[in-house]
Amino acid sequence: MLRRILSAGVLLILLTGVAATHAKVLIPAPPQLAASAWILVDANTGKILVEHNADEQLPPASLTKMMTSYIVASELHSGKVREQDQVPISVTAWKMGGSKMFIREGTSVPLIDLLRGVVIQSGNDASVALAEYLAGSEGAFADVMNQQAALLGMAGTNYNNATGWPSEGHQTTARDLSLLAKALIQDYPEHYGIYSEKYFKYNGINQPNRNRLLWRDSTVDGLKTGHTEEAGYCLVASAVRKGMRLISVVMGTRSEEARAQEAQKLLAFGFRYFETGKVYSAGDIIQENARVWYGVENNINLVVPEDVYITIPRGSKDELDAKILVDEKIKAPLTEHQELGRLSVSYEGEPLIDLPLVADHPVEEAGFFARLWDAISLFFFGIFN
């Protein structure tokens, strides 16, 4: 049984990590874009700020290479491959059309160079070479891509190849791409930095990153462009301002300039009208000295098990509703991180946070006579409460 021990009125304490404002900012309708689908998401909280046709399955073009690079980063992180591994270049990779890194058949290229060729130069040849090296063939690599997509919750995605080359049934959604972008940023930060590099030179050819926002906005540090006649011009972008990271996905615009402009509109709207703050760090005490019965200790602290962020409209801090519910009777034995309550915060009825409160350390069961005394105390406690 849970009992409420906190409600609205202590929000200033709860939300000290969120910048204070003195007046609520009225939020206009979100921008309407000249695109097929789009979404704007806060990377830390997963809060969706804007979306349109976010679940429509569309051809991703070279946005496919985000998954290719994610799998390569995963293999590097796990130690299965190394950055300086020499990757052989097959005839199949060499012959790939479209955007190219200009690798040569019969040569070997360091894996990290190929990864840069995928991310910065959007090289189809580099993508196929990596797929063959990691999985034996591009078809087998596509199977791995689909398995990874399922693990990330990308329910509307299906990959047939590692490049985004037009293929029937090769599709994804704006929402799925935002999930993939978040995973790229958070899971493998040691390789995410490649997405912000503006140029990469290989084989005497210096090619620029196709993400125009890297030149226009110093807060943008990724991610990837894509284009085919069927897909139109697409862009997944991410930016950080004052500790708040947003991810925008724009699909199906009419030109390179249009995809950059539409992505800018989304990012500008999000940063102007919303704010994200870190409310708690993992291990922060939410309830101090909660009573423990039948234990060798009489009290325990309840803590949050993970970092807690919250995304809210600017100026709406005072309109949040916070509640803490704690078990009516906490009884030993207790294990470390055992759930003993819940913390929830909502805004205008919409849940923003709902996470467990856990024991900060284990508590062993007391001896017979101590437990007997607590049983008597609990009996009278129940009568008078």
Q: What is the pLDDT of residue 370?
A: 65
**Assigned CATH topology for domain 37-253:** Beta-lactamase (3.40.710)
Q: What is the CA radius of gyration of the chain?
A: 26
Within this chain, domains 2-19+279-384 and 37-253 share the same CATH topology: no
| pLDDT for 14 | 43
Is 122 a residue of the active site?
yes
What pLDDT sits at residue 311?
92
Residue ranges in the chain assigned as alpha helix (H): 11-14, 65-78, 91-94, 111-119, 124-135, 138-151, 174-187, 189-192, 213-216, 256-273, 368-384
Q: Are 229 and 59 in contact (CB under 8 A)?
A: no
CA–CA dist 36, 234 (Å, integer): 10
Which candidate, 196, 201, 202, 241, places its Cα nearest to that of 215?
196
Q: Which of 47, 65, 224, 317 does the annotation list as catalytic?
A: 65
Residue 180 corresponds to which tokens in the numbers above?
A: 């993939």
Domain boundary assignment for the chain: 2-19+279-384, 37-253
State residue 353's pLDDT score: 86
Q: Residue 108 catalytic?
A: no
**Predicted local distance difference test score (pLDDT) of residue 366:** 79
The list of the chain residues with pLDDT below 50 reads 1-22
Choose, from 47, 62, 69, 182, the residue flagged as catalytic.
Answer: 62
Assigned architecture for domain 2-19+279-384: Sandwich (2.60)
Catalytic residue among 69, 122, 127, 178: 122
Active site residue 78: no
User: According to the model, what pLDDT value does residue 24 have?
Assistant: 53
With 0-12 / 13-18 / 19 or more C-beta atoms within 10 angstroms meaning exposed / middle / buried, residue 120 is buried
Q: Which two tokens stand for residue 114?
A: 């190929």
155 alpha-carbon distance from chain centroid: 16
Backbone angles phi, psi at 147, to 5 degrees: -65, -40
CA-wise closest residue to 192 among 71, 70, 75 = 70
Tokens linked to 106: 């019969």
